Structure 1
Amino acid sequence: MENKSKQQEHYGLFTATAMIIGIVIGSGIFFKSDDVLTYTGGNVGLGVLVFIIGAFSIIFGSLTLTELSVRTKNSGGIISYFEEFISVKTANGFGWFQTFIYFPTINAVISWVSAIYIFSFLGIDASLEQQVLLGFVIFTFFYGVNILSYKLGGYIQNLTTIVKLVPLLVIAITGLFYHGQAIELPAGAAVVDSSPIGFAWLAALAPIAFSFDGWIVSVNITHEVKNPKKNMPLALIIGPLTVLVVYLLYFLGLNNMLGSEYIMATGNEAVNKAGEILLGNMGTRILLFLIIISVLGVVNGMTLGSIRMPQSLAAKKMLPSSDSIAKLHPKYEISIPSAICAYITAAVWMLLHYITMKSGILGGSDISEIAIVFSYMCYMVLYIKVLKLKKTNVVTSFFKGFICPIFGLAGSAIILIGGLISNPLYVSLFIVFCGLVCFAGYLYSKKQV
């Protein structure tokens, strides 16, 4: 058994850190910067503060969860932490939330965003209906790819991880040193002036949570890291801080180049102007092409994870018809029923995303942001568990057993408050809905006992 463990520990500090950076840096930064500025009233300083709060919520949260990851032999990541340290029924509830809300809402929104950038690349002024339809085609394609060839899905992920850093660093480095003329708003764009907003800036934490999301996956590799008690805490500090630096440089570079008013007025299209300034007439298309690859990489990654979620739950008898869902196809080496379940769920959420965007009931938010906010509420349960383990001396480190969970709780609470401020009524209703899905999973597990 000991030899097996040693064989599994094949990642060093550098690789573990690179994995975290690759997981966290996704598409959110490209289309959430304008949301951050809007919520902060165009105040770049407040925007920087929001980025820092988001990063430190990750650092202290992930350091807290490593205290659970090094104490479990079970696979399955955060679901296994709920299973081993809270209860099987609670793990079932959280697993249902991840399977039926978290993964599919993010996949639906990211697919829609990739469609926006593709239409922009083609110079087409697309309607919401056209964007959603293309988004549906995009995630259908990636579900097909990952079902038919898990290796191809992995190759796509490796390629896009490298590509996604290019547009961020280009805009970050050149934007900070840009000294050109003030940029005029395009014809027809509504002017959005900077304005004081009081504590409403906390609402910017919802899109920030989206931009930093994915960090929770990084604790899943703990058992594969050499000397995990030393290297994982280091990786979980260095990784998020690196992401924070890249994000801040991009955010400040974009603002220095275009100005906050231009970014708020043009929204997701602001990056097009940055490409034009940097690389001339072809610059917009080159930059958009790189961003499209990056965003499609996120769709692929979320698809890769989502098609395995029902199977993972079924293997633990956490779903109806678990026996059939848990079976792996001998040729494709995945569960076809699991993949179909994930695909149908994502399609339903794409329809719901269209309805919420068409009606505008979520204001500047979207369904995925609220799902991420609810995730932070769930993490708080685990942070409290680590505090209890410190109280009973199971966790001996004062820093990781007390300081980290306290700051993790504070960060999650601030993100929750920010989400509620962004749209009190509908965010509250959606959080209740997420809770009901968790409760359904909890009751199903209780029924199986």
Structure 2
Amino acid sequence: MNQGFERRYGLLTAICMVVGIVIGSGVFFKAQTILQATNGNMPLGILAWIIGGVIMLVCSLAFATMATKYEKVNGIVDYAEATVGHKYAYFIGWFMTTIYYPTLTSVLAWLSARYTLVFIQSCNPVGLKDLDPVTGPECMVLTLFFLCAAYFVNAISPRLAGKFQVATTFIKLIPLILMAVVGIIYGIASGQLTENFSNTVQLTGDMANPVNVNPLFGAVVATAFAYEGWIIATSINSELKDAKKNLPKALTIGAIIVMAVYIFYYVGVAGGASNKDLIYSGATVAFINIFGNVFGNVLNLFIAISCMGTMNGLMLGCTRGLYSVAARGRGPSPQVYRQVDPETNMSNNSAIVGLMLCACWFVFFYGANLAPNNWFGVFSFDSSELTIVTIYGMYIPIFIKFIQKATDMSTVQRYVWPILAICGSVFMVIAAIYAHGYKPYVIAKAAGSFAIPIVFYLIVFAVIMAIGMFIDKGKGGGETEEEKEDEKTLG
């Protein structure tokens, strides 16, 4: 049966999509990375968080403006279609379906499994003390279980998936807000905050910053990846009540909440331990100093729940990925993947493909990053971060065409937000290239070979895009009269 999705999500769910997807495991550890990059310079670290947050915010505001005008199947694909055209929208949708959603979802499933096992180990159960929570078979099995569970919830009961997203978002905010408030108060009372703001740390050995690396730029690069993922919230615009009003609110409010939580948490952590301790031991030492050893161990459970919430939001995008392409008459067998089950009101065929792609990318992630012997040689790269190179690059033509076509919008909406978003997108691409392109690393130690990861990622990206072009069944158009009218809206 071919029909649209029902309007089942409200503003709160949409906001929790933005907040819950962006805030994953990274926020708990980025304080350490940023302090290392800045040699413990707290004001410089705060400035880095602000710059990274502003980039996310201006991009959110640019898309929020588009969300007031376009509402169809999948936000980012809709915006690409209305501004650049049907072909570009297809390649955006194909990229999101085959690379962006499943790569991130598979990694978050692994992180969920990893920190669940770390928490279990901290409880000292008999027989589990010696298991490997990173690469052990228990971690791999639990990862696949989490992937299947997330698929089941999103494909069988989308409403339950929405409620789970709301619940995990509030749960993951508990330790962050608690540390932000208590850590700042504790730090002021003990004088630790004053000391950390006044002094830097001279790092040595592996912790020392690379030569000629600008501290602020290095820190902003670290925040860039912590702020990634908010665009996935636009995948539910066709299921959102009053989407043209609520999605812009969700993007804007969600971005502001994330930015505020990150900054205040960073300051709160600095109130719980010295900069040197944070750099060498991570944020856990601050939690233990303030709340004791028990809460320090419980923190692993909060991290696991945080990862689960992010994974759930990502899987929500995965299950709808191929549907957003097929609904436009594009991609492989569009008549098959645009079908919506009348009982679950979900595109089950699209959801199954999404799960299969997650499994494939998890095999790649394991073989490229976790396996004892590298499986993919020079084609081994971190699939959880490099997609940022292409997703932000793909935003730029959308912003440019919006400026050209949005003649009925205000100056701020038509020029200010898109231009700032273009600048932010360019920066994110440069940041990703800087982080992964100019830092060669040993791919196979035994062979002594080196590679630049970003180059081989782009080769894989090009091959997958070529496959998408080859199997596209809608090359001749296939758009309905309603779709043609949508494209004329801006012109």
Which TM-score band (shorter chain)?
Answer: 0.7 to 0.9
Which residue is 1:244 aligned to?
Answer: 259
Judging changes above 3 Å, is the alpha-carbon distance between structure 1 residues 430 and 36 closer, same or farther for their aligned structure 2 residues?
Answer: farther
Which residue is 1:372 aligned to?
Answer: 388
Q: Superposition pairs for residues 127-166 of structure 1, below 5 Å?
A: 128-130=134-136, 131-166=139-174
Shift of the alpha carbon at 1:119?
2.3
Structure 2 CA distance for aligned equivalents of residues 335 and 447 of structure 1: 19
Shift of the alpha carbon at 1:255?
3.0
Which residue is 1:288 aligned to?
Answer: 300
Partner of 1:110, secondary structure, is helix
Residue deviations 1:275-298, cap 9 Å, x none? 322332321233322232222111
Shift of the alpha carbon at 1:260?
4.0
Which residue is 1:108 aligned to?
Answer: 106
Structure 1 CA distance for aligned equivalents of residues 377 and 38 of structure 2: 20
Structure 2 CA distance for aligned equivalents of residues 423 and 48 of structure 1: 24
Which residue is 1:4 aligned to?
Answer: none
Which residue is 1:126 aligned to?
Answer: 132
Judging changes above 3 Å, is the alpha-carbon distance between structure 1 residues 330 and 398 closer, same or farther for their aligned structure 2 residues?
Answer: closer
Judging changes above 3 Å, is the alpha-carbon distance between structure 1 residues 233 and 351 closer, same or farther for their aligned structure 2 residues?
Answer: closer
Shift of the alpha carbon at 1:81?
1.2
Structure 2 CA distance for aligned equivalents of residues 87 and 192 of structure 1: 48
Q: Is 1:433 matched with 2:431? A: no
Residue deviations 1:231-264, cap 9 Å, x none? 8767655542332121011112223323444344
**Counterpart residue identity of residue 327, structure 1:** Q
Judging changes above 3 Å, is the alpha-carbon distance between structure 1 residues 60 and 326 closer, same or farther for their aligned structure 2 residues?
Answer: same
CA contact (8 A) 2:237 2:243 kept: no
Shift of the alpha carbon at 1:9?
13
Structure 2 CA distance for aligned equivalents of residues 141 and 19 of structure 1: 18
Q: CA RMSD in A?
A: 3.5
Judging changes above 3 Å, is the alpha-carbon distance between structure 1 residues 429 and 194 closer, same or farther for their aligned structure 2 residues?
Answer: closer
Partner of 1:104, secondary structure, is helix
CA contact (8 A) 2:118 2:133 kept: no
Residue deviations 1:91-134, cap 9 Å, x none? 11111110111111111111122222122212256253224443
Judging changes above 3 Å, is the alpha-carbon distance between structure 1 residues 287 and 305 closer, same or farther for their aligned structure 2 residues?
Answer: same
Shift of the alpha carbon at 1:445?
4.1
Structure 2 CA distance for aligned equivalents of residues 10 and 289 of structure 1: 28
CA contact (8 A) 1:23 1:215 kept: yes
Q: Superposition pairs for residues 117-266 of structure 1, below 5 Å?
A: 117-123=115-121, 124=129, 126=132, 128-130=134-136, 131-176=139-184, 177-178=186-187, 179=190, 192-193=207-208, 198-199=213-214, 202-218=217-233, 221=237, 224-225=241-242, 228=245, 236-266=251-281
More helix by share: 1
Partner of 1:67, secondary structure, is helix
Structure 1 CA distance for aligned equivalents of residues 144 and 279 of structure 2: 27
**Counterpart residue identity of residue 416, structure 2:** I
Stretch of structure 1 that moved more, 245-254 or 271-280: 271-280
CA contact (8 A) 1:108 1:139 kept: yes
Q: Superposition pairs for residues 297-446 of structure 1, below 5 Å?
A: 297-358=309-370, 366-389=382-405, 394-424=407-437, 425-442=452-469, 444-445=471-472
Stretch of structure 1 that moved more, 198-207 or 98-107: 198-207
Q: Superposition pairs for residues 269-288 of structure 1, below 5 Å?
A: 270-288=282-300
Residue deviations 1:17-72, cap 9 Å, x none? 66644554344312444343444454433332222122111222122223332332
CA contact (8 A) 1:67 1:386 kept: no
Residue deviations 1:343-384, cap 9 Å, x none? 11111111221233235999xx83221113321111111111
Identity of aligned residues (%): 29
Which residue is 1:79 aligned to?
Answer: 77
CA contact (8 A) 2:67 2:244 kept: no
CA contact (8 A) 1:175 1:256 kept: yes
> Structure 1: where are the runs of 5+ without partners?
1-7, 184-189
Q: Superposition pairs for residues 82-101 of structure 1, below 5 Å?
A: 82-101=80-99
**Counterpart residue identity of residue 99, structure 1:** T
Which residue is 1:59 aligned to?
Answer: 57
**Counterpart residue identity of residue 152, structure 1:** L
Structure 1 CA distance for aligned equivalents of residues 38 and 223 of structure 2: 12
Judging changes above 3 Å, is the alpha-carbon distance between structure 1 residues 380 and 323 closer, same or farther for their aligned structure 2 residues?
Answer: same
Structure 2 CA distance for aligned equivalents of residues 107 and 242 of structure 1: 23
Shift of the alpha carbon at 1:180?
8.2
Judging changes above 3 Å, is the alpha-carbon distance between structure 1 residues 203 and 323 closer, same or farther for their aligned structure 2 residues?
Answer: farther
CA contact (8 A) 1:39 1:200 kept: yes
TM-score computed with the length of structure 1 as normaliser: 0.82
Judging changes above 3 Å, is the alpha-carbon distance between structure 1 residues 256 and 199 closer, same or farther for their aligned structure 2 residues?
Answer: same
